[in-house]
Amino acid sequence: MNLKIDKMKWLAHGWLLLVAVLILMAIKHGPVFDSSIMGLLPESDKEPNVQLATNQMAEGFSKRVILLLSSDNEGEVQAAVRAMAVVLEKLPDIANVEWQVQDKDIVQRQQELYPYRFSILDPAVRKQLLNNEFEQVQKRALTNLYSPLNVGRNSIIDDPFGFFSELNLNRKNDFKVQVSNSLLKVTESVRPTYMMMFTLAGKVSSPSLQNRILSKIKTEENTLNQRGITLTMSGMLLHSAAGAEQANKEITTIGLGSLLGITIMMLFVFRHFKPLLLMISAVTIGCLSALAVTTLVFERVHLITLAFGMGLVGVSIDYALHFLCQRSVSSVSVTIDKIILGLALGLFSSVMAYAAQALAPFPGLQQMAVFSVVGLCTSWLTVILCFPFWTRNYAQQTLSVAIKLDRFRQVFPRLENRPVVIGLGLLICILFSVNTLLSSNYADDVRLLQSSPESLLEQDKTVQQQIIASGSSQFLLIQADDIERCLQKEEQLSSILEQLVFDKLIGGYQSVSSFLPSLQRQNENIRLVEKLYEQQLESYYTSISLSPQNVIEAQKIMDQATMQSLSSQVWLSQEASNEGKDLIVRQVEHGAATLIRFTGTIDEEAVRTLQKLSIEDDAVVYIDRVQNISKVIGVYRSEVINLIILAYLGVILVLFSRYKMQVWRVITPPILATAFTLTAIVYLGYGINIFHLMALILVLGIGLDMGIFLHESHEAPHTWLAVSLSAYTSLLAFGLLVLSDTPVLHHFGLTVLLGLSFTWFLVPVMRRNKYGNVY
Amino acid sequence: MSRVLFFIILSLPFSAQAQLTFIELEAMSISPEKLSGEFKQEKYISELAITLSSTGLFSYHRGKNIHWKTLEPIQSELIMTPNTIINRQGDNELFHMDVNAAPTIGLISELFFSIMTSDWQKLAAVFVISGENKDGVWVAELTPIDETIAQFSSRISLRGDHLLREITLYEKSGDYTAIHFDRLSQ
């Protein structure tokens, strides 16, 4: 006996040492976490420039916050904007605040661009020149000259046809905003409303940054409200903060609730703290080893892996409970022998289901597979190797709960006793399920997973309606050898895009070339202007009584000004490039890349045109981030379905070799539960998505364990207790997530709740009539 | 100290009497719903020391539109609404502009609207006023408080009786536009 205990001790300590070494290695390696959804795509799908552009776009967008202040009193709201700007500009977390247009900025921009007035032309003017409508251009200049509105115009000698003021006047701005008292006034608003916008200096996901900025704004908002000024905001910062707050709240309420429920139940059943501690240690060792191995195998651990990987906790608890319940009726030396076969089959079925995911060509699923398989195996080994030693002084005692629960089990109707009634009932349910599932749809749209509170979405909508802001999710990527060629390509595309705007299929678009035409285009413009001067300047000047000397003078100034064009280097060094700069992709692998961004909503038909463009032209890529993410989720979903089916066919085959014709008793409860759960989800109005499937692997794992353990122990009451407790703990740990407002967690919880409940009720129905003995 | 106070007290009634206010203007002049008449515009261009004169007809419908029809030396028609500016030459539309899309032109057009329709309340928000009133004929000098407006016009001088008769818009460059109204009918 002593020898046996020594052996147990050696095994337990040896195993713990191994786990410790593994964990230390991982700590030394340093885990790197990744939350980018693109990281989940197969390597070949990622074009480096597409990813760089997407990241740049997303980052710029996520760091922007828009504020609208409105009040009935114009003066008050203007004062409030100035006061708010002072507060915001003082915050170190804010990189810059845009709230006013200073005259010196306007003057500087004009001075920078004025020398290029003959090479950068307003599109309407250019069109007239291209169509040889020189006389029209002159008439337009003359009409403007006599117009009472024509103030602030430039010199008649330097720019006789007013190209520069045409360019400035027609320069559309991103927002529906007008400058009033140097501030940005929203034009389409009933109450006087002013806009402010700030950019974050740090990461939007940082909780401390969110807290610092938002608490400051909240204080300001309170004083504003007292003065009758309302504040409306929009930005990722708010969603991110709301999400974090929600998660915190839920972890403290739902998390504490489930922990309390599990603790009370374990104490009630075992009357000791120790079993609870053992259970927790098995699960903890499993999770830590899983994380350690994943860190060592993969360069970065994706957060999605962790989120779903944690589901294996529910399955690994099975092994601990099965041991503890068996140990309560058996001596330490025989416990393992009695349950090893059941445990091995249980492990095999779950490992198969998770390992199958590794076959998918997706890094996300491969990681999840490694994480889950390692976690399950280490938990299992901890139970086998450590539990005998840890429970060596454990007194055998019949658990009274086991007897009570066993009595309750006898109340269940059995399929064997009433094959016709129950069989028919089940058959109807199955037919109904199949019928429902065949006509159901999948839901892979990432926007369905939107978790922000209504009030925030409402604010977003208000801001969107008042100012047409550009989104970040849809854009065109232009790739070429250099910037000049990118600009030329953009100019080629502009006729298609203009047509889309004209047909009202897109709101508008922004491109670098609208600020900085290609050198080719600039030279073309200069040629057109030269032709115009040749044909119209003299008659134009004569009509307003200017002398031939003036004609010579104007001609000379134009000749000099057209000696140089605006190069991209010069433009980038100018203040004027601020609006368009972020449309150039920084850090490209080779060559150059620019973006064309869309404003307002994009019609389906426009999307088709843009996609077609992207297919036909190698230099152009149409990117829709939301759709791309949805697509990834969809592909993952279909891969997961196929692999689960494949894995379980393998499991059934192995189980068949052991249980022969009795195998249906083991496999029907989890399979029927899965079908019924999916049907219920469809009936609740949700489309089936990958989060439901991930939860179903957990349900199938626990469900199969139930059947296997019961079969192996000949329906022993303590085994029924073990599997019931296992279902109960998973219900509390995951099923309670159904109360979560975060959709991903809600879906996961709902599936576990329904799935495990169905399984627990179906298992006894399928069991045979004879019962095992308590001892 | 008491001397200073004395002068302040002494100067108060005088300055108050000479000072024209927007409220007084509102009381003296009428802002008709509709008005039409003839105009003569003189635009002085300091750079070339020339004056461009033009004449034509105008009409407005308060809050709705202004028609500005130049007849001499060129023929063109300007139609302004609170949201758009359309320039026509015969049947040919030279340009059509959405005021909201172009912030600067929007501001000028709004200003022109307020002046033409004698919307004193709106003007009081962006200008300080000085001037005098003699037997119902008044002269007012408007100086912009709004920095953005100051970019376009350093001051505006107005003359009128119960109706607005003359506008002169001075620019920073030294250019000015003087508009004289005649044969007004409501």
Mean pLDDT along residues A20-43: 75
Q: What is this structure's pTM?
A: 0.70
pLDDT in the model for residue B9: 42
pLDDT of residue A471: 64
Q: Is the Cβ–Cβ distance between A266 and A274 less than 8 Å?
A: no
B169 to B30, B143, B144: CA distances (angstroms): 21, 11, 12
Give contacts of A 432-471 with B, CB under 8 A. Answer: none
Which residues, in sequence order, are CB contacts of A563 under 8 Å at separation 6+?
none
Residue of A nearest to B53 (CA): A146
CA distance B150 to chain A (A): 10
| Percent of chain B whose predicted confidence (pLDDT) is above 70 | 85
- Other CB atoms within 10 A of residue A482 CB: 11
Confidence of residue A378 (pLDDT cuts 50, 70, 90): very high
- What is the C-alpha to C-alpha distance for residues A743 and A56, in angstroms, rounded to an integer? 27
A187 interfacial to chain B (CB closer than 8 Å):
yes
C-alpha torsion B71→B77→B82→B85, nearest 10: -140
Residue A594 to residue A46: CA distance in whole angstroms? 18
Task: Judge: A179–B103 Cβ closer than 8 Å, yes or no.
Answer: yes
Q: How many CB atoms lie within 10 A of CB A678?
A: 21
Query: What integer pLDDT is reported at residue B42 of this predicted model?
Result: 92
Checking if the pLDDT of A774 tops 60, the result is: no
- Give dist(CA B57, CA B55) in Å, integer: 7
Give the model's pLDDT for residue A493: 92
Residues of chain A with pLDDT > 70, as a percent, come to 92
User: Which of A111, A143, A174, A502 should we substitute to test contact with B (largest number of B Cβ atoms within 10 Å)?
Assistant: A143
Q: How far is B10 from chain A (nearest CA, A)?
A: 33
For chain A, say whether B53 makes contact (Cβ under 8 Å): no
Q: Under an 8 A CB cutoff, do A149 and B109 touch?
A: yes
Q: How far apart are CA A399 and CA A713, in angstroms?
A: 16
Burial of residue A616, with CB atoms counted within 10 A of its CB: 0-12 exposed, 13-18 middle, 19 or more buried: exposed
* Region for residue A387 given its phi and psi (left: phi exceeds 0; alpha: psi -120 to 50; beta: otherwise): alpha
Average pLDDT value for residue range A182-187: 82
| Residue among B41, B45, B126 minimizing CB distance to A148 | B41
For the cut 90, the answer to whether the pLDDT of residue A313 exceeds it is no
Whether B48 and chain A come into contact, CB under 8 Å, resolves to yes
Q: How many CB atoms lie within 10 A of CB B2?
A: 6
pLDDT band at A523 (very low <50, low <70, confident <90, very high): very high
**pLDDT higher than 80, residue B7:** no
Which range is least confidently modeled, A277-281, A628-632, B30-34, B100-104? Answer: B100-104
- Nearest Cβ partner of B94 from A140, A145, A545? A140
Q: For residue A448, name the pLDDT band (cuts at 50, 70, 90).
A: low
| Whether residue A271 has pLDDT greater than 50 | yes
pLDDT tens by residue, A548-576: 898 899 999 999 988 889 998 898 888 88
Mean pLDDT of all residues in A670-676: 92
Bigger pLDDT: A35 vs A226: A226
Q: Does B179 touch chain A (CB under 8 A)?
A: yes
Put simply, whether A542 touches B (Cβ < 8 Å) is no
Check A546 against B50: CB less than 8 A apart.
yes
Q: Residue B1: which pLDDT band, with cuts at 50, 70 and 90?
A: very low
Cβ–Cβ gap A151/B179 under 8 Å: no
Question: For position A24, what pLDDT does the model report?
Answer: 92
Averaged pLDDT, B138-163: 85
Q: What is the pLDDT of residue A1?
A: 46
User: What's the whole-number mean pLDDT along residues A181-205?
Assistant: 84
Instruction: Choose, out of A180, A190, A514, A544, the residue to mutate when testing the contact with B (most B CBs < 10 Å).
Output: A180
What is the pLDDT at residue A85?
Answer: 92
Nearest to A147 among B78, B151, B175 (CB): B78
Q: Which residue has the higher pLDDT, A251 or A458?
A: A458
Q: Tell me whether residues B89 and A139 touch, CB distance under 8 A.
A: yes
Domains of chain B and CATH, by start: 19-181 (2.50.20.10)
Mention every residue, 6+ apart, whose C-beta is less than 8 A from residue B182. B37, B38, B39, B40
Average pLDDT over residues A402-407: 87
DSSP-assigned letters across all residues of A78-146:
HHHHHHHHHHHHH-TTEEEEE-B--HHHHHHHHHHHGGGTTTS--HHHHHHHHTT-HHHHHHHHHHHHH
**pLDDT tens by residue, A687-722:** 888 778 878 888 888 898 899 989 888 888 889 999
Contacts of B170 in chain A (CB under 8 A): none
Indicate yes or no: CB of A142 within 8 angstroms of CB of B94.
no
CB contact under 8 A, A169 and B151: no
Please check whether residue B76 touches A, CB under 8 A.
Answer: yes
A490 pLDDT band, cuts 50/70/90, is very high
Q: What is residue B11's predicted lDDT score, i.e. its pLDDT?
A: 39
ipTM: 0.84
Note the pLDDT tens digit of each residue in A614-631: 888 888 988 887 777 777
> Is pLDDT of A220 > 70?
yes
Peptide bond into B73 cis (omega under 30): yes
Give per-residue pLDDT as tens, A97-116.
Answer: 988 877 777 778 888 888 99
B177 contacts on A by Cβ (under 8 Å):
148, 151
Give the pLDDT of residue A175: 62
The rounded distance, in Å, linking the Cα atoms of A729 and A259 is 9
Is some CB atom of chain A closer than 8 A to the CB atom of B59? Answer: no
Q: Please give the average per-residue pLDDT across A732-756, as a whole number.
A: 84
Does the beta carbon of B177 lie under 8 angstroms from any beta carbon of chain A?
Answer: yes
pLDDT, residue A201, reads 87
B100 → closest Cβ in A142, A152, A176: A176
On the question of pLDDT at A772 being above 60, the answer is no
Chain-chain contact of A142 with B74 (C-beta, under 8 angstroms): yes
Sign for the CA dihedral angle at A57, A60, A63, A68 comes to: negative
Q: Does A127 touch chain B (CB under 8 A)?
A: no
User: Which of A56-65, A288-297, A543-552 is the least confident region?
Assistant: A56-65
Comparing A119-123, A291-295, A353-357, which segment has the lowest mean pLDDT? A353-357
d(CA A109, CA A127): 25
- In this prediction, residue A172 carries a pLDDT of 58
Confidence of residue A661 (pLDDT cuts 50, 70, 90): confident
pLDDT at residue number B19 = 63
Residue A152 confidence (pLDDT) above 80: no
